[in-house]
Structure 1
Amino acid sequence: MKKNLLTLTFLFTAVSLFAQMGSLSLAFGLPQNDFRENTDATGFGGDLSFAFPFQKGTPIYLGGDINYMVYGLNSTDHDLTADIVANGQLIDQLVIPLRVTNTNSIFGTHLFMRAVAPFELIQPYAEGLIGFRYISTNTKIVDRSDDGRWSDDDDDNVISRKTVLDDWIFSYGYGGGFLIKVGPSVFIDLRANFFKGQRAQYYDGDDTSSWTVEFNGDPNSYDRETVSGDNLSYENRPRESTTDLLVLKFGVAFKM
């Protein structure tokens, strides 16, 4: 899935180089309606859009938009212990120091039609959008030991990466904004989009911050090869609702 998202991002970026209108913005996502009732998380990330004129000389543009926002991020240190017992007697106790990082994120990609008022200094615009959003919760477990004995040395001491929950959401909406001219072809871009989203299951930061990690293997067989993500358990209690979202964007745009 990560490869697909990276490929899509690369294609959008490549196409945007030939666009006649484009923008790069900071983005803030505010859950709405049932989504807001289930979570008070605010997303933060970036947005890239590009557009071409529908017909030369007209203020109507067709384009695409891609954005990524994190709406929950937390890290917790855990020290897992296991008693090694032989013949009913405690021989030793092993300690595995871990850091668990949970990331909740939303990736969105939409096509849009935009009408821009052809004024000189401030150009208001309106747009309609349709596309998809990908909502996911990912967990990374890192070995905190000094010698990295529980992890793969070639992977920054990462023991496990796991997508705990993910979902694709059909998404459509409308919005608008203002292009404020600051140079011959450079504008400040202030934009807001409201998206209707299908029902989905998801977590927020309050959920993931309370997760615990346990080792379910045989303590007598602890070594670099046997400690893996399959031995780690999560407390999974997903929320579910429609996923309406208000996205506020602040950036820089260009027109050629």
Structure 2
Amino acid sequence: MKKYLLISLLSLITVFSFGQMGSIGFSLGLPQNEFKENTDATGFGGDLSFAFPFQKGTPIYLGLDVNYMIYGRNAQNEDLFASINDQNGNELARLEIPLRIVNTNSIFGTHAFIRAVAPLELIQPYGEALFGFRYISTNTKILDRSNDRRWATEDDSDVISRETVLDDWILSYGFGGGFLIKIGPKAFIDLRVNYFKGQRAEYFDGQDTESWEVTFSGSNFDEATVSGDDLTFNTSPRESTTDLLVIKFGVAFKI
């Protein structure tokens, strides 16, 4: 995931280096069709895009859009217990392990687009077509709630482990449009709506992660360490197409 995010950001920088239009703002993601039937989650996040004219003097732009949304996040405290045994299997001590489990469902998307902008003065409507991919994932972070952070893997952090429980890559394409409303010589309010068709994918809903029960399935721990590999999650993922309506509100600049 980090590699693809870096590639997307480098591509945006390349476009911006000789680009003519940039936009940054907030986004709202609403599942559609079969995706909506499987989940009522709503995504919230941010959006960044850059574009440059297809040909100098024409209102046709080529560009790249990067979007990240969280569509479910919850946290719960868990108090687990572990036994310390001698070589004969006799229990020497019983340890309490206070943990906090944070679950985050997210969608990262990057799309190339072609955009036609009406060259008007105050309000410039535009239409666009987009093609790219989205990465949908559920990540779990296990935090140490003990006062001395005895279970954490790093001295300056309360994080015991981070784990990608489930992820999937989705081919995504769509269309949309919006309005650029002039508020300065080179600045605009950018109001945009995009509709995306998405491939089938497996994913978890926020309600799924709220009901997770965390238990130890192994014995790779002692009085100094707890391994996140010993944790199990007893939930089956959902599966459907991943059509999405994304509403965006931001500020655009023409250079």
Tell me the distance in 1 between the aligned counterparts of 2:205 and 2:186: 40
Contact 2:77 2:99 in 1 (8 A): yes
- Contact in 2 for aligned 1:16/1:49 (Cα 8 Å): no
The answer as to whether partners of 2:84 and 2:222 remain within 8 angstroms in 1 is no
Amino acid at match of 1:62: L
Q: 1:67 to 1:13 in 2, by over 3 A?
A: farther
Cα–Cα, structure 1 residues 88 and 53, in superposed 2: closer, same or farther, change >3 Å?
closer
Aligned to 1:245: 244
Q: Which whole-Å CA distance do the structure 2 matches of 1:128 and 1:112 have between them?
A: 6
* Further displaced range: 141-150 or 11-20: 11-20
Matches within 5 A, 1:136-147: 136-147=137-148
The CA distance in 2 between the partners of 1:88 and 1:60, in whole Å, is 74
Cα pair 1:25 1:250 within 8 Å, conserved: yes
Q: What SS does the aligned partner of 2:18 have?
A: coil
Question: Equivalent residues in 2 for 1:1-256 (5 A)?
Answer: 1-13=1-13, 15-83=15-83, 92-154=93-155, 156-218=157-219, 222-225=222-225, 227-256=226-255
Question: How many residues are treated as equivalent by the alignment?
Answer: 254
Question: In structure 1, how many angstroms separate the alpha carbons of the residues matched to 2:210 and 2:14?
Answer: 38
CA RMSD between the two structures? 1.9
Compute the displacement of 1:15 (Å).
Answer: 3.1
Residues 1:216 and 1:155: Cα distance change in structure 2 (over 3 Å): farther
Q: How far has the Cα of 1:224 moved from its partner?
A: 2.5
1:46 aligned partner, one-letter code: G
Return the alpha-carbon distance in structure 1 between the equivalents of residues 14 and 62 of structure 2.
Answer: 16
On the 8 A contact 2:15/2:52 being kept in 1, the answer is: no
Letter of the aligned partner of 1:57 in structure 2?
G
Q: Normalising by the residue count of structure 1, what TM-score does the alignment of the two structures yield?
A: 0.93
Greater shift in the superposed pair: 181-190 or 147-156: 147-156
> What is the CA–CA distance in structure 2 between the aligned matches of 1:69 and 1:88, rounded to whole Å?
48
% identical aligned pairs: 67
* CA distance in 1 between partners of 2:188 and 2:91 (Å): 70
Query: What TM-score, normalized by structure 2, do the two folds share?
Result: 0.93
> Matched residues in 1 for 2:141 and 2:23: separation?
32
Distance 1:163 1:211 in 2: 15
SS of alignment partner, residue 58 of structure 2? coil
Change (3 A) 1:91 1:146: same
